[in-house]
Amino acid sequence: MILDSMPKSVQYIAFLLMFIFAQGTSMWGQYFTLKYPNMGMIEAFLRAIPFAWLDWAFMSVAVYIGDKYKLVTPTQDTLLLIIVQFVSILVINSLWLKQAISKSDIFCFFIILLAFYISFTHAISKLLGKPIPKTTSDKKEDGDSDCVERNKDGKYHCLTMTTPTDNKTSIACSQKSHRQAKAYHCFEFKENSN
């Protein structure tokens, strides 16, 4: 992908643009018909469904970028979704539906932003001196698979072809793939006491 060689800041910008466009179109598709109370359900559905398709297309790209470059956690994805949808609804309410926005709406928005900041920076955990939990991808070393385990010496126990190995790398494990899904055939065996 073209973003592979780009700096992290460009990857974040691409992720956020896809995310904002996806959720903005989704919210527009869900709320623009409210201005027409006499519109039937079928007509409203037919007018809204193209926006759902756009949301699906751009959100798929946003999630792909976020996962591939490890930009956000699933929790942060959800918080970002809430923020973008909330802002989109405020804009639609104000500009399209011509509804007033209260001070409570604005205050609520800043509470959501604070929650996102705390999640993204682990501010409370750092403040309280609590350990920051590692994600699954942080725990693995390069080349580790999901089923390969290390013993106390840091060696892998896995099966290559038909012979058990005890190597320092997981490459020794027999790898089978089906439609780009990697599956390692590994097993546990006790160390010789010799």
Domains of the chain, residue spans: 2-128, 140-185
SS3 state of residue 62: helix
Whether 64 shows a pLDDT value over 50: the answer reads yes
Residue pLDDT, tens place only, 106-121: 898 899 889 888 988 8
- Residues 6 or more apart whose Cβ sits within 8 Å of residue 70: 137
Residue 39 near residue 33 (C-beta atoms within 8 A): yes
Q: Which amino acid is at 48?
A: A
Residue 1's pLDDT band, with cuts at 50, 70 and 90, is confident
- Residues 6 or more apart whose Cβ sits within 8 Å of residue 157: 148, 149, 150, 151, 164, 166, 186, 187, 188, 189
Residue 65 near residue 14 (C-beta atoms within 8 A): yes
Segment 125-153 shows an average pLDDT of 62
Task: For residue 165, list its beta bridge partners.
Answer: 158
CA distances, 49 to each of 42, 54, 93, 138 (Å) = 11, 9, 20, 39
Segment 58-84 shows an average pLDDT of 91
Q: Which residue has the higher pLDDT, 188 or 43?
A: 43
